[in-house]
Structure 1
């Protein structure tokens, strides 16, 4: 991995059981990450507690986070676009972007969970068609294009947000043709080299016609603490759920280290994590390394400590430097 990239983290707002405290703790996690110098923080959308994710409305939570932070980028990784009315999403995103002074990074995906599509009255098998239709509508709105025959346009207007769209998909040539950023993560059914090749395909297809740079958001599970409570049980529960809906075809038992390797999850001493990250896709100054440091059972204090290790020991060894020096309000663990 080359230097000069941006450093982010992803919270899936996991909990084994629902408790409203999960939202307040996510606010605290963003505040801690900003104090540590992280460039961005991302949240994932999960309807009906799918995968034990407790956040169906990411833009609502990010609006609260925007009022508690000043600098850190606010990303969605991802919003399930086929389940969203495109114009309403554009309106909500526009208001959030204005509230946060242009900090929103809008990550989108087609989704995969058939149960949630059924609950929304949508056809799971048509999700890619619905994704393309909604994305076209969304990009027209954010690009200040006409929305009806009378020329009605999005209000409020948000110049620049249309250039901060990200897509999580293997159809990377389409993403490049649209001028959007690519969100990628290890695929448990493919060798690690597949991620490097995916990124190269995206970069090769990039034209830059819309004036934005090619940009990668590399998502990686990273657990740098010697002891991570509940990690084994959380991952086994996650894989069992993924297997039940046909998303995961690998083994559920076997050596836990082998399972982590298959999932692309890095666990261990900082030096070993640096080595693991260094073998993946190369990142440059327009790219993001986004670490996920929580499973459903991870206490807030452990998550903050993991972010601290990454910011102070792991990311600097790969060439990252915080854009804003920690000065007056130096971060410290209580």
Structure 2
């Protein structure tokens, strides 16, 4: 099992100025590098406190690359539908060069109606745009004199510069949420997988991982070479009561931010997002229910170790956990304590390195 961190800000200027949030996040990047964590990631969202401080994860990761030499740098995830594939392929290849080959390129479809509206992209086109643009990016990374005649973009012949450092291209992850077929498609395409367990039951996620691993192997790929990243909010403190209080507060704020961001689903339907209109009534955080269901990683070091052992039993010891340690509502010192306690008292109990 490996461990990294993901930054998903859920704050607005009224909560914390953006320069302060980025300064704090970069301090935690330094600490993750020092403590031996596997990766740091940043999300892509717009407009709302729910992720809105990160409209371009590549910008943040470039800053992180300049102050680290080991930790991997992941988009979590960038949205191909919102940018021309030539631009996206170039930005990511440049980051791969700046970081000397440490990029993990994760792509997602997005799911917030207001974001699609702002970019003038019909939501019903999200999947077809996603599939087409990811393929275009990979082709630009791996071939010269590329001619592309897609449904949404046409270009060429062009040869991308700079070429990616990692060959044949940086690892490609696909972010999935509610669609079971997305996991199967990711395995068939030879893409790595990242998902958020909070949006499905344990049994549903187990089934999707079985399908994903099966499709990966069916393509002639060696079993165990696939990479699976699962994302969890995480708060660790010496005292379990303190961890629970802070975890509850953070989850309540995160849920409130999500609720505001998905409100437009009350008046939106899309064939590409069946059932998403129910998101408009998310309601309260349900902290205790999430904690009991292992949807959050919160507690003392011993409690968190037990939680992680359960996740390994459910989903496999080869998974990688991306831990959300700093949404911006708790202090940066709280996040640093979480990282240190994980690195010093929890992770050493698992084989391997963070």
Match of 2:272 in 1: none
Match of residue 329 from structure 1:
none
Equivalents in 2 of 1:62, 1:295: separation in Å?
Answer: 17
Secondary structure of the 1:10 match is strand
How many aligned positions are there? 315
Identify the residue that residue 257 of structure 1 maps to in structure 2. Answer: 288
Q: 1:180 aligns with which of 191, 198, 203?
A: 191
CA contact (8 A) 1:140 1:146 kept: no
State whether structure 2 residue 302 is matched by structure 1 residue 302: no
Deviation for aligned residue 1:315? 2.2
- The 1-side partners of 2:214 and 2:60 are apart by 36
Shift of 1:50: 4.9
> 2:39 and 2:286 mapped to 1: Cα distance?
34
Q: Aligned-pair distance for 1:43? A: 0.7
Alpha-carbon contact 2:11-2:49 (below 8 Å) kept = no
Q: Deviations over 1:197-234 (max 9, x none)?
A: 21111111114557892111121222113242742531
Determine the C-alpha separation between the residues in 1 that align with 2:290 and 2:2. Answer: 28
Deviation at 1:306, TM superposition (A): 0.7
Query: Residue 48 of structure 1: CA displacement?
Result: 1.7
Are residues 1:241 and 2:273 paired? no
| SS of equivalent to 1:214 | coil
- 5 Å-filtered alignment, 1:260-275, equals 260-261=291-292, 264-275=295-306
Instruction: Give the secondary structure class of the aligned counterpart of 2:125.
Output: helix
Which residues of structure 1 form unaligned runs of 5+? 323-334
Match among 194, 203, 206 for residue 216 of structure 2: 206
Q: 2 CA distance for matches of 1:128 and 1:73?
A: 28
**Residue 310 (structure 1) shift:** 1.4
SS of corresponding position for 2:193:
strand
Matches of 2:5 and 2:326 in 1, distance apart?
Answer: 10
User: In 2, are the aligned partners of 1:105 and 1:164 still within 8 Å (CA)?
Assistant: yes
1:152 aligns with 2:158: yes
Task: Output the aligned Cα RMSD.
Answer: 2.5
Q: Which residue of 1 aligns with 2:171?
A: 164
Shift of 1:244: 2.0
| Contact kept? 2:2, 2:38, Cα under 8 Å | yes
Tell me the TM-score normalized by structure 1.
Answer: 0.85
Q: Unpaired runs of 5+ in structure 2?
A: 149-155, 266-275
Do the aligned partners of 2:10 and 2:254 also contact (CA within 8 Å) in 1?
Answer: no
Bigger proportion of residues as helix: 2
Does structure 1 retain, via aligned residues, the 8 Å contact 2:116–2:122?
yes
TM-score where L is the length of structure 2: 0.81
